[in-house]
Each structure stands twice: as structure tokens, then as C-alpha cells.
Amino acid sequence: MSLTNDKFLNISNSIKNSYLDEWKNNKKKVLGYYCTYIPEELFYAAGFLPYRIRATGHELDELADIYMVRFTCGFVRLTLDLALRGGYDFLDGLFITNCCDHARRMYELYDLVVFKRKEIKQKPPQFYVALPHVINEDGFEWYLDEIKLLKEQIEQEYTLKEIDNSQLKEAIKIYNENRSLLREIYNLRTLDNPKLTGSEFLQISMANTSVPKEIANNELRRILEIIKNSKDLSNNRKRIMLVGSVVDNINFTKLVEDSGAIIVSDFLCFGERNILDDVDLNGDLLENIAKRTYYRMSCPRMMDDHKKRYDFLLKEIERAKVDGVILQRINNCDLHGCENMLLEHELKDLGIPSLNIDREAFLTDTTRLQTRIEAFYEMIK
């Protein structure tokens, strides 16, 4: 058995899927979100299916052009375009946090434009949480208060009753299990003889954010068995770590891997960064959810945490026996652009090969990228 054409992985190729339809047919609600800084367990406990908005396969941005200037993130622009064409009309709610300047403004654009389209019968509720940009106790206190207010808002506008501890506990268990399964799968990439490619992991991870987590967990268990029983992948390819802006399209990871490498590790928000930390099941559960979301392995939007991210990267490079690091950013992503600038110099100082590239969200510049990537592989021979 192999993962080629696996039905779960295929979910990542489209926006909607049969599990989502089934969920909706059962009159259950779907909540869209952009950034992984979301207390997903809380929404799940409230009966929402949190769905990570992406634009996989969507290539048009003319409608988004009207509302977003060209020098904004292509990933967000594509999602907006898709939303304006009705691709996200199945959403029953939207959660936004001040993750980056591009995605956070989707709060206003969905409110003023997307949800005002005539196709939308009833405007879905929108939720917003202000997340600090530094990680310390004061910041956590602020964040916890925001999460408490969020819970109240969900209870008032959606569940119409209190979300109790047993619901929270159940959601946390499901999510912890989900992360643990993903970690197990992830670790099979880092082996000396990896069992799956970076593109396959990305597909698994994207599919995982598009279906209810109970279903995802069953699927992940099944996939884990397939992978464990599959043949090792060839070990004479360059071992690459992929770092930077969101990747929601395997065309890019394939480009990296088809040129003679395998992505054995990543630091992406559809990748490892989001599955490292779990929620504690003891004590105040809401507080624990807030703790995980706030103190988890950060991304560059956390202004004071570069050192921790860098240290983590170094450990991963060692653990996964990485030959070279590809630092990439979607054009106009300032957060990853500057983080990559720092990392490039730091890795160079340690003699770790790295390639720093910018790209379009939907690959239009394949040849240029391929040439640079191949030249990089040559260099790390």
C-alpha cells in the first residue's frame, strides 16, 4: 500500500470535501480561520468545525485585486479572491487574530465585502482576539482575558449555553491525540531512511485542517500504519529543511523535492511548528488552552522570540540530519522575509548551507526557482 492517491491526502487538493459536507448536512457549523494562533479546542468544544482557510489550486486574483493592493501577500489575496467567488460561502463563522497585517484585515473585508454579497443569506458571526506580540506573563494575562471574553461571545452568539468543562476536556483530548499522531507521522520523515516525503506530509497536514478531528484521527491512524509498513524512501537525496511563509500547495514542495532532495523537516505553519505543543488536561482547562496557543513554538509575528526559534531550528537540523535549509517567503511577507534574513546570516556563521528565496503564492516563476534550487543542491554536494 502507498499514499499515492490516498483519499485522505486528496482532501488537501480541494477546498471542500465529503466529511465537511456531511458535517454541514448534519446542521453543524464550520468556522473559518487563517492563522494557527487560534484556540481551536474551544471552538471544537462549542460545536464548530474549525477550518483553516487556504486557496489550494486557486489561480485567480482579479477580484482580490479590487480590494487588496498588489503588494500584499499572494496567499491571502488568493483566499480573498476565492471567497469573493463564493468558495467560502459554506462558512458559518470567521475567526481572526492579529497574526500578520495581511490576514488580520480579512476581518474587515469579510465583514464589509465577502459576507455582504447577495449570496449570503445571513451574515455569519465574526470573532476576533488581540494577541500580544511578545511572550511574557503580562502578555499571557492579557491573552487569557481575551480568551475568556471569546468564550463568552461564543456562548452568547452561538451555543446559547455555557461551554462546560467536560466539552473542553473532550475537545482537548481529541486535539492532543491529533497532534500526537501527526508528530508520529512527522518523525517518520526525519529518519535516516525517511518513510514519507515533505509533500505527502504537507498534504496530510492540510487535509487535517479541513475535516472534523475525530475523523482526522481515524484517518491518521490508518495512514500511520500504511507508512510504517511501506518501503523506505531512497536515502541518497539531499535532506532539506523548509522554513518560512505558509505553503498550501504541493507544487512548491514538489519542486523542491523533484530536483533531487527530500524535505525531512520543516518550520512552517502547516507543518511541524503547529504540532509541537499539547494542552495540559489538569487544572483550569480554558487557561491551559490559552497557554498552549500563547506559549507554543512561535512564528516571526512574535517579536521577541527569534532566539527560541533559531535554537529550535538548530536542534532540528541536527536531529533530522539536514544537509541544507531552504528559507522561503511569499513575496510581500515582511515577517518571514526579515526572519529569513536573520536566519541566513546565522546559519552562514555556523557553516550550515542555506538558500533564501522569494516566491509567488501560486507558482508562476517555476523555472527561476528550479534553477536556484538546483544550483543550491549542487553547492551542498
Partner 1 sequence: MVNRTELENKVIPYKILLETLQNTYDLVDSILLDNTIPSLKIGLKYLIQNIEANIEKAGDGLPVVGHHFAFQSEYLDCFDVVPICIEGTSYILSALLPDGVEKYYDLMRNWGHPFHTCSSQKGVMGMTLDDLFRFDAIICPTAPCDNTMASYPYFKYQADVPMVLPDMPFIHKEKSFKYYAKQIKKGLEDLGKIIGQKPDWDELKKHLEIDNKSINTQLEIFELKKAIPCPVENFYNAMSAAVTIFMAGKEEKVKYYDEMLESAKNNYRKKKHHGGEEKIRCIFPYMLIFFDLGLCEWLDRELGMSILFDIFNYNFTKPIRTTDSLDTMFYDMARKGMEFPMMKQSTDFYYNFIDDCVNMAKEFKSDCFIFTMHIGCKQFGSVVQVLREALRDETGIPVLMLDLDVGDKRMTSMKVLRDKISLFAQTLL
Q: Which residues here bind ligand SF4, judged by CB under 6 A?
A: 35-37, 73, 75-76, 99-100, 102-103, 245-246, 269, 299, 301, 330, 333, 335-336
Report phi then psi at 54, rounded to 5.
-145, 175
**Given the complex with ligand SF4, which of 323 and 339 has the nearer CB atom?**
339
DSSP state of 37: -
**Given the complex with partner 1, which of 45 and 327 has the nearer CB atom?**
327
Q: Compute CA distances 215 → 15, 31, 345, whole Å.
A: 17, 17, 43
Report phi then psi at 326, rounded to 5.
-100, 115
Q: Residues 141 to 170: which contact partner 1 by CB under 8 A?
A: 142, 145
- Could you say which of 1, 130, 281, 375 contacts partner 1 (CB under 8 A)? 130
Q: Residues 297 to 326: which contact partner 1 by CB under 8 A?
A: 300-301, 303-304, 306-307
Q: Show the DSSP H helices in the chain as ranges.
A: 7-10, 18-25, 40-45, 62-67, 74-84, 101-104, 106-112, 137-154, 165-187, 198-208, 213-228, 250-258, 285-295, 306-319, 334-350, 366-379
d(CA 331, CA 352): 24
Q: Residues 38 to 97: which contact partner 1 by CB under 8 A?
A: 66-73
By a kind-dependent CB cut-off of 5 to 8 A, residue 247 interacts, out of partner 1, ligand SF4, none, with: none
By a kind-dependent CB cut-off of 5 to 8 A, residue 280 interacts, out of partner 1, ligand SF4, none, with: none
Question: Least distance from C-beta 35 to ligand SF4, angstroms?
Answer: 3
Question: Least distance from C-beta 39 to partner 1, angstroms?
Answer: 16
d(CA 269, CA 2): 26
By a kind-dependent CB cut-off of 5 to 8 A, residue 341 interacts, out of partner 1, ligand SF4, none, with: partner 1
C-alpha cell recorded at residue 380: 551542498
102 binds partner 1, rule: CB under 8 A: yes
Q: Residues 340 to 379: which contact partner 1 by CB under 8 A?
A: 340-342, 344-346, 356, 358
* Nearest partner of 248 among 59, 376, 86, judged by Cα: 59
Total interface residues for partner 1 by CB under 8 A: 52
d(CA 213, CA 357): 34
By a kind-dependent CB cut-off of 5 to 8 A, residue 128 interacts, out of ligand SF4, partner 1, none, with: partner 1
By a kind-dependent CB cut-off of 5 to 8 A, residue 345 interacts, out of partner 1, ligand SF4, none, with: partner 1
C-alpha cell recorded at residue 231: 518501503
**Given the complex with partner 1, which of 119 and 349 has the nearer CB atom?**
349
* Nearest partner of 114 among 149, 141, 79, judged by Cα: 79
By a kind-dependent CB cut-off of 5 to 8 A, residue 292 interacts, out of ligand SF4, partner 1, none, with: none
